[in-house]
Structure 1
Amino acid sequence: MLIVICGATATGKSGLAIAIAQRLNAEIISADSRQIYREFDIATAKVSSSELALVPHHLVSTYDPNCTVTAAQYQTQAQALIDKFQVRGMTPLLVGGTGLYIKSVVKGMKIPRVPPQMDLRSQLTNLGQGQCYQILQHLDREATMKIHANDAIRTIRALEVYYVTGQTISSQQGEYPPSYPILQIGLDCESLDVLTHRIKQRTQQMLELGWEDEVKYLGTKYGWDLPLLDTLGYAEMRQYIQGEISLAEAIDLTIVHTRQFAKRQRTWFASIPEIEWFDSNDPILLDRVWARVQQFCKTV
């Protein structure tokens, strides 16, 4: 069995997951594409050391920030952990907001095992999206039925897979869902005003925890061109540190960008019919979710 707890940022996934895991005597597998990196802690809302002491977490602070973790790598490690727990008779919790990570596991996505080829990507980028898309239409017309003509990232990825493996990305994709039962719990704020308030609170907490110092440290240690420093919460603070904007602007931009990110997450998860939704602002949320988990565990 597997229990998934997913949803947009700032909906309280981590706190709920820890409470459920404690009741189940279970462990948590993170599904967060930035918390998987070491030292990126505050602006990713990574679980604290005290929370880690309550429930073991996996795939948190696993890789150095200058590594690139692919969805295929994540999938392999997450599936191995799930298999290990099930052999021990344990039902793990898969928790996070990175939709692709969760989908790779619950749908058993077949993902080409091709790591990023930076030189090739640079060459393709220099060709321009128009020409790259024309090449892809010639090599893999099936892929262009799913990739928009303006989607440069997916176009280049499809070409990258073809040139590395000699096979189209379409021929290497598909879904092979796992045989074990899966319960997917989704958390959502029915009120956008409440979600915005939570995002503002989180941003203020980041500041109090040393957000600025963390970004200064990371930029100094790894270089300001580190790709992770161009992600949410790090890019805005980096702009402030480098004198491009004021601190107030960095805070406001982070709030705006986080709201936009949450909207994209909500859109992604809303398209998945298997998810059972709960209001994260419900005063008896834990009781409701725990009752559903108990029901799920009894019926499988």
Structure 2
Amino acid sequence: MNGSPKPKLLVLVGPTGSGKTEIAIQLAQALSGEIISADSRYLYRELNIGTAKPSPDELTRVPHHLINVTTLDNPWSLGVYQKATHQLIQQINLRGHLPILAGGTGQYIRAITEQWEIPAQAPEHQLRDAIELWGQRIGFDALHQRLARLDPEAAQLIDYRNKRRTIRALEVIFATGQRFSDLRKKSISSYQQLIIGIAWPRELLYERIDARIEAMFAAGLVEEVQELVDRGYAEALKRMGIIGYSEVLQYLEGQSSLEEAKQQMRHNTRVFVRRQANWFKPNDPKIHWFNATDPAVLAHMLDLIKATF
């Protein structure tokens, strides 16, 4: 040990629709911070309205990282994201700024804060193709159920709509003979880190989510998805299973009405919020939760952050 201080890391978590984008910007402005996105959907340049990605104006208010860095043709693995994030945390600290890891993708947050050692299993494309064909034959809901039998922990943390991650977990299990969750090793964090969370009463959160969904449709979500279909991305969107895009695809394919698509999107988002709670538990002692309805919530956050760093 050379006694040098650990790099600092502030982490902001919370369910979808909780206002993490604006809180992160305000914290960054007050703390000379730079925001690192921990939202798997923000990586992709083609996905904008349906992901509630920060607006161009919001992106100019403070430095943002890992937004619009790849395309649907080149999906990032967890390992690629983790490597890029670790590099950014070091670089931001060297600039004398505070890195703020903000987002709702629990797998991304944990991979950084718990220093996961990602399974090094190389892709086996024939096996992967075979699992995808299996899913097409039995249905991808049923495929996720097969994963739940083999590895309940992995299945609990992987959204059943995310075909790509379900297939990858099964691929690793079949190739190694070990559970996917057992191959994910944790180690002591190399950062001086503080994790804070935004908490909303559930009914108020659902009202915010419903309003945001309506705003997405008003802003042109259907047109955005239609453009992606026209560019040949329908299958890629189906594999990724992103809420908003999946429901609109069903509408565009004539499987539902527009109102049914909205209703399904509201339902699926509520399910997703409950799934996020598996990653960000209210009783997790590592997370300092703040009541979003408190008018002084930002000031209370800043008091804790300044006392910590």
TM category, shorter:
0.7 to 0.9
- Deviation of 1:294 after TM superposition, in Å, equals 1.4
- Deviation of 1:160 after TM superposition, in Å, equals 5.5
Aligned counterparts of 1:284 and 1:25: Cα–Cα separation in 2: 20
State how many pairs are aligned.
Answer: 283
SS at structure 2 position matched to 1:85? helix
Whether contact under 8 Å (2:153, 2:181) holds in the other structure is: no
1:201 counterpart letter in structure 2: A
- Deviation of 1:79 after TM superposition, in Å, equals 0.2
**Residues 224 and 68 of structure 1: is their aligned pair in 2 closer, same or farther, counting only changes over 3 Å?**
same
The aligned residue for residue 14 of structure 1 is 21
289, 297, 300: which one aligns with 2:301: 289
What does 1:1-150 align with in structure 2 at a 5 Å threshold?
A: 1-114=8-121, 116-124=123-131, 126=134
Percent of residue pairs bearing the same amino acid type: 34
Whether contact under 8 Å (1:117, 1:160) holds in the other structure is: no
Whether contact under 8 Å (1:109, 1:177) holds in the other structure is: no
Aligned counterparts of 2:303 and 2:97: Cα–Cα separation in 1: 18
The aligned residue for residue 291 of structure 2 is 279
The aligned residue for residue 263 of structure 1 is 274
Deviates more, 1:86-95 or 1:152-161: 152-161
Q: Establish whether residue 156 from structure 1 lines up as the match of residue 170 from structure 2.
A: yes
Q: Deviations over 1:241-267 (max 9, x none)?
A: 222211111111111111110111023
Aligned counterparts of 2:179 and 2:204: Cα–Cα separation in 1: 45
**How high is the TM-score relative to the length of structure 2?**
0.82
What does 1:181-196 align with in structure 2 at a 5 Å threshold?
A: 181-189=192-200, 191-196=201-206
What does 1:193-204 align with in structure 2 at a 5 Å threshold?
A: 193-204=203-214
Q: Any gaps of 5 or more consecutive residues in structure 2?
A: 1-7, 159-165
1:204 counterpart letter in structure 2: E
The aligned residue for residue 260 of structure 2 is 249
Q: Deviations over 1:17-42 (max 9, x none)?
A: 00000111111000011111112011
Whether contact under 8 Å (1:2, 1:183) holds in the other structure is: yes
1:36 counterpart letter in structure 2: L
- Deviation of 1:291 after TM superposition, in Å, equals 1.4
Q: Any gaps of 5 or more consecutive residues in structure 1?
A: 134-142
Q: Deviations over 1:152-203 (max 9, x none)?
A: 757514336539xxx99688542223332100001121x2210110011100
Aligned counterparts of 1:72 and 1:262: Cα–Cα separation in 2: 24
The aligned residue for residue 139 of structure 1 is none
- Deviation of 1:144 after TM superposition, in Å, equals 6.1
1:285 counterpart letter in structure 2: V
**Residues 67 and 287 of structure 1: is their aligned pair in 2 closer, same or farther, counting only changes over 3 Å?**
same
204, 215, 235: which one aligns with 1:225: 235
SS at structure 2 position matched to 1:27? strand
Aligned counterparts of 2:113 and 2:93: Cα–Cα separation in 1: 15
Q: Establish whether residue 215 from structure 1 lines up as the match of residue 229 from structure 2.
A: no
Aligned counterparts of 2:182 and 2:234: Cα–Cα separation in 1: 38
Deviates more, 1:59-68 or 1:44-53: 59-68
1:64 counterpart letter in structure 2: T
